[in-house]
């Protein structure tokens, strides 16, 4: 966990992320052995983490996508959650695992979990690549966590700043001076 990236210091390299995804995927396989499972990818930020989890799982599962946000173009949550894309898959009587990029305030996921539970699944859990406890304003806790991160504005490996920097092959962060330069 070191080195310089295109922007900022590399917090987690692609190799570290993939190694952790293998560990998390193995735990998910163990926990859902013999059960029907739907992986629900939160767009757009979790796409890379979702792909890693999916490719390292041995469990055959269904997938779908959802988009919900409370950020817009800001670096902090507005507190108002908007669902922009709703999954089509029938969740009734299935286990659902929401694959998320980062749990920050917890506002979006707490709202989303309530909406998904209305669809009658056996269970709804969350697998997040990054957990940022320092920003939590709810009592939300993810069931599977890739990495803990400090109170930084994280970018890369799917996470963005105003729809930019998602394609970085590592996890980094933006300083105020970086934001001004963009």
pLDDT along the chain (182 residues), means of 10: 64 97 98 97 96 97 88 53 82 97 91 93 98 93 97 93 91 80 67
Predicted pLDDT at 7: 67
CATH number of 18-170: 3.40.50.2020
- What is the structure's pLDDT at 158? 96
Q: What is the pLDDT of residue 74?
A: 47
For the chain, counts of helices (H) and of strands (E)? 4, 8
How many other CB atoms sit within 10 Å of the CB of residue 36?
15
Catalytic residue among 101, 104, 143, 160: 104
Which two three-digit tokens encode residue 29?
């396989």
Q: Where are the domains of the chain?
A: 18-170
Backbone angles phi, psi at 154, to 5 degrees: -80, 140
104 is catalytic: yes
pLDDT for residue 68: 83
CB 47 within 8 A of CB 35: no
% helix / strand / coil in the chain, to the nearest 5?
25, 30, 45
- Peptide bond preceding 10: is omega within 30 degrees of 0, i.e. cis? no
CA angle, residues 167, 116, 59, in degrees to nearest 5: 65
Chain centroid to Cα 14, Å, comes to 16
Side-chain-side CA neighbours of residue 123 (13 Å): 10
DSSP at 167: T
């Amino acid at each position: 966990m070191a080195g310089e990236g295109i922007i900022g210091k590399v917090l987690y390299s692609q190799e570290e992320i993939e190694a952790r995804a293998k560990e998390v995927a193995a735990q998910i396989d163990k926990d859902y052995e013999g059960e029907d499972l739907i992986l629900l990818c939160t767009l757009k930020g979790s796409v890379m983490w979702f792909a890693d989890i999916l490719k390292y799982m041995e469990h055959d599962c269904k997938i779908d996508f959802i988009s919900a946000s409370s950020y817009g173009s800001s670096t902090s949550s507005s507190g108002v959650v908007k669902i922009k894309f709703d999954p089509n898959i029938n969740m009734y009587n299935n286990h659902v695992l929401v694959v998320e990029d980062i749990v920050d305030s917890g506002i979006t996921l707490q709202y989303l979990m309530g909406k998904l539970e209305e669809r009658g699944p056996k269970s709804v859990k969350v697998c997040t690549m990054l957990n940022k406890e320092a920003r939590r304003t709810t009592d939300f806790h993810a069931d599977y966590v890739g990495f803990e991160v400090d109170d930084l504005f994280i970018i890369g490996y799917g996470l963005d700043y105003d729809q930019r920097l998602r394609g970085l092959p590592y996890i980094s962060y933006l300083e105020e001076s970086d934001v001004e330069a963009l």
